Structure 1
Amino acid sequence: MTTRQSASPAAPATATRTGLPALRDEARRRDERDPLTAYASRYATGGAVHLNGNSLGPPRESLTSALGGVVSGQWAPRQVRAWFQDGWLDLPRTVGDKLAPLLGAGPGQVVVAGETTSTTLFNALVAACRLRADRPVLLVEAGAFPTDLYIADSVARLLDRRLVVEPRAGFDAYLATHGRQTAAALTAPVDFRTGERRAIGPTTALCHTAGAVSVWDLSHAAGVLPVELDACAVDLAVGCGYKYLGGGPGAPAFLYVRSDLQPDVDFPLAGWHGHARPFAMAPEFEPAEGVDRGRTGTPPLLSLAALDHALDPLVDTGIRELHRRGRDLGEFFLTCLGEGRPDLPRRLASPRDPDLRGGHLALRVPDAEGLEQALAGAGVLVDARPPDLVRFAFAPLYVTHEQVWRAVRELHRALP
């Protein structure tokens, strides 16, 4: 009997890969060790890598069934009675209280009235200025999201206030030197372009020292970054439901009003759902008790139900673990980014220190829109911001380390 030998020897069992291919093995090890990886398979990603969650992320796989249950199990059989029998009337507060722990807020301070982020911000800014009716200045940070600048300008003109727009470094300095002229100050904890963080506590403290009302736009922080609204004594805050919160296209915004301010806050949009007795159909407006006075008209029930469904895994995970996971993904992205391409980390427009940034990273590239399109063709979804930024967002529950590795591989291929 003869023994046949292989024509070529097998690779040694101890052989290892190097460079970016080796980091794929590391990505898989990290995913295996992290229990949050299990959530990723529960989202309808269509096989794409979704790194644009700071604009819009994928829905959970179970959303279709959840919305179907609302339509077929509540709306269809009970119609108008469902407002009373299925908790529809209370849903703005129910969803608000569910969201509150992700914002570091106690119950009764958050409402999701069903309005857009723009409308909610308008309501909050006017109310903030009314709380300091004798002060002439509305302060806003120059790098704010464009809608914030537009709304602030409109509010200033409406109320005959002077709009002061200060760059990042000058915002706190203005509060320190001219704060007693300032009615309200609007800024955000995360720069929507670069991801750079602004500490909420110190800026809010400056507002309070000067007697100004602090208003925060949490749209790029909610669901990925601890914001600790109660601990920081924030006055008012708003944020959208369709970014890291995953509520879907045009998901309604949320409004936070600190509990001790609620009896005095006077919102300009006085709708019947914000009335103390909405079904009395009274001719004069009497604001509801508590944060419910921030409600306006009949809320978009299906959008609220979709946001309610999206919040479940986020609340179950908790904001500390969500932040930890998102931070880990971002750091792994940077590790992969420079592997074999030391030029790419030099294009980073975001702070390198993870403590100084939110949930996304931005790179400077000459043709940002072209890179966005090239990556989309390879199944990696990012977004460009003019003139030269491409943003990569690391939503904690549907992005994996292996997907981050894949995104960087395609990025290496797309960039000369």
Structure 2
Amino acid sequence: MTVTATEFASRAAALDAADPLRDYPARFLGSDDPRIVAYLDGNSLGRPTRATSERISAFLAQDWGHRLIRRWDEEWFDLPLTLGDRLGAAVLGAATGQTTIGDSTTVLLYKLARGALTLRPGRTEIVVDRGNFPTDRYVLESIAADLGYTLRWLEPDLRAGVTAADLAEVVSERTALVALSHVAYRSGYLLDSPAVATVTHDAGALLLLDLCHSAGSVEIELDSWAVDFAVGCTYKYLNGGPGSPAFAYVAAAHLDEFVQPIWGWMGRDAPFEMAQGYRPAPGIRRVISGTPAILGMLPIQDTIDMIEEAGIRAIRAKSVALTEFALDVVRSWLVPRGVTVSSPLDPARRGGHVTIDHPTFQGMLPRLWERGVIPDFRGPAGLRLGPSPLSTTFTELLAGLAVIRDEFANP
């Protein structure tokens, strides 16, 4: 049955009024921009916060402009670790000393994967799935080619994702590393990480999770799930801005023996000795190579402030409510027009975004952007709707879906 626009508008208004996070959207720049009807791409690039604008101005005038090189001794040298600890506690379910921030996701993925393989000598296989993000696949293909390893490819349903049963069929005594995404970039499928970790460890292998599409929107418990390694970006739900540095997690049990392949002076024990020969620093600092991107870490601090304040459980509840509402509208307004849903319907198996498919979506996207509705497109025919729990309202989400509906009348 088709629900009217008035009925959905009333429901959206009621959801916004009852939303415990209703005051947060106003904390983001652009939230009052009349040219933007609906920003539905928070799963690709989060909005900047108003606090970040102030923080960057103060950084230029005081930290960089006045304190100059002295700020390295006062804060910057340890910022990748102190901010990593805050991220670990607020977002990742990680105790202190296991998370650092710096480099891109690609570089950190390479570092963690190569370092993990050295911990499983004699094993020569890496498990990865065809639905994983391209960078993950490419990095692992590169490593396998370089080391002569074999890739074992999982072939999940692209409308879903990898299950523990799927994984159990391919792991063996030859498996060194299993590398999967916690939330699938296209479908939004949410991995059963504890079950996958059990299957991986029963085979004697190590588990590396990509958290790019989950950090900041989904509850994560890396320590209690017994995940070995994790990597993720900070420019999506963590609002770090384009190109903001990624994060890396190495479980405490591996830190003493873990050695990553890109040796740099800031990851060496006693770096200011400038001594000959590399000796990895104790703890998570050994993941660092060169000078970290301090300026790029500023915005992340403001989002972590909000997550600490709101709580990741409340953020996840809002995310589920947004995607459930989106699916209700899609079923009523768009499915009758031939649109199909390519994301799990069960919220327990769905991350923070929803993908819908229709042959016209690729051509429709530029028109949507022109009209101030901003989702993104993923082939072959998918429109991703990525509301961000802290910055998106139900009314904004409905307004965007109404424009998508209207575009079907004006192909």
**2:42–2:387 CA contact under 8 A, matched in 1:** yes
Deviation at 1:33, TM superposition (A): 1.3
1:3-402 aligned within 5 A: 19-45=4-30, 46-47=33-34, 48=36, 49-85=38-74, 87-101=75-89, 102-112=91-101, 114-168=102-156, 172-173=165-166, 175-176=168-169, 178-343=171-336, 347-402=340-395
- Alpha carbons of 1:244 and 1:345: their partners in 2 closer, same or farther (altered >3 Å)? farther
Give the secondary-structure state (helix, strand or coil) at the position aligned to 1:314.
helix
Aligned-residue RMSD, C-alpha:
1.6
Residue by residue over 1:268-313, the C-alpha shift from the partner in whole angstroms, topping out at 9 and shown as x without a partner, is 0111111110111111111111111111100111001222223221
The letter for the 2-side match of 1:139 is V
**2:52–2:298 CA contact under 8 A, matched in 1:** no
Deviation at 1:330, TM superposition (A): 0.9
**Identity percentage of aligned residues:** 33
Give the secondary-structure state (helix, strand or coil) at the position aligned to 1:111.
strand
Q: Moved runs in structure 1, 4+ residues, more than 6 A? A: none
Q: Distance in 2 between matches of 1:32 and 1:163?
A: 50
Q: Distance in 2 between matches of 1:345 and 1:224?
A: 29
Q: Distance in 2 between matches of 1:70 and 1:110?
A: 24
Count of matched residue pairs: 397
Deviation at 1:371, TM superposition (A): 2.2
Q: Distance in 2 between matches of 1:320 and 1:70?
A: 31
Q: Structure 2: where are the runs of 5+ without partners?
A: 157-161
Deviation at 1:412, TM superposition (A): 0.9
The letter for the 2-side match of 1:59 is P
**1:337–1:344 CA contact under 8 A, matched in 2:** no
- Alpha carbons of 1:31 and 1:266: their partners in 2 closer, same or farther (altered >3 Å)? same
The letter for the 2-side match of 1:38 is D
Give the secondary-structure state (helix, strand or coil) at the position aligned to 1:256.
strand
Q: Distance in 1 between matches of 2:327 and 2:199?
A: 34
The letter for the 2-side match of 1:312 is D
Deviation at 1:121, TM superposition (A): 0.2
Residue by residue over 1:203-246, the C-alpha shift from the partner in whole angstroms, topping out at 9 and shown as x without a partner, is 11111101101001010011111121111100000001111111
Q: TM-score, normalised by structure 1?
A: 0.92
Greater alpha carbon shift after TM alignment, 50-59 vs 20-29: 20-29
**2:352–2:386 CA contact under 8 A, matched in 1:** yes
Which residue does 2:159 correspond to in 1?
Answer: none
Give the secondary-structure state (helix, strand or coil) at the position aligned to 2:126.
strand
Q: Distance in 1 between matches of 2:208 and 2:149?
A: 16
Give the secondary-structure state (helix, strand or coil) at the position aligned to 2:178.
strand
Q: Distance in 1 between matches of 2:333 and 2:62?
A: 55
- Alpha carbons of 1:20 and 1:337: their partners in 2 closer, same or farther (altered >3 Å)? farther
Q: Distance in 1 between matches of 2:386 and 2:171?
A: 36
**2:25–2:393 CA contact under 8 A, matched in 1:** yes
Q: Distance in 1 between matches of 2:201 and 2:333?
A: 49
Q: Distance in 1 between matches of 2:332 and 2:357?
A: 18
1:398-409 aligned within 5 A: 398-409=391-402
Q: Distance in 1 between matches of 2:302 and 2:21?
A: 18
Q: Structure 1: where are the runs of 5+ without partners?
A: 1-17
Q: TM-score, normalised by structure 2?
A: 0.93
Give the secondary-structure state (helix, strand or coil) at the position aligned to 2:397.
helix
The letter for the 2-side match of 1:132 is R
- Alpha carbons of 1:162 and 1:341: their partners in 2 closer, same or farther (altered >3 Å)? closer
**1:139–1:164 CA contact under 8 A, matched in 2:** yes
Residue by residue over 1:312-368, the C-alpha shift from the partner in whole angstroms, topping out at 9 and shown as x without a partner, is 212221211111001101111122223355515851111111111100000101132
Greater alpha carbon shift after TM alignment, 117-126 vs 53-62: 53-62
Give the secondary-structure state (helix, strand or coil) at the position aligned to 2:230.
strand
Residue by residue over 1:102-152, the C-alpha shift from the partner in whole angstroms, topping out at 9 and shown as x without a partner, is 11111111100x201000000010011111121011111111000001000
- Which structure would you say has the larger Rg? 1
The letter for the 2-side match of 1:237 is A
- Alpha carbons of 1:242 and 1:345: their partners in 2 closer, same or farther (altered >3 Å)? farther
- Alpha carbons of 1:345 and 1:242: their partners in 2 closer, same or farther (altered >3 Å)? farther
**1:189–1:198 CA contact under 8 A, matched in 2:** yes
Q: Distance in 1 between matches of 2:374 and 2:292?
A: 31
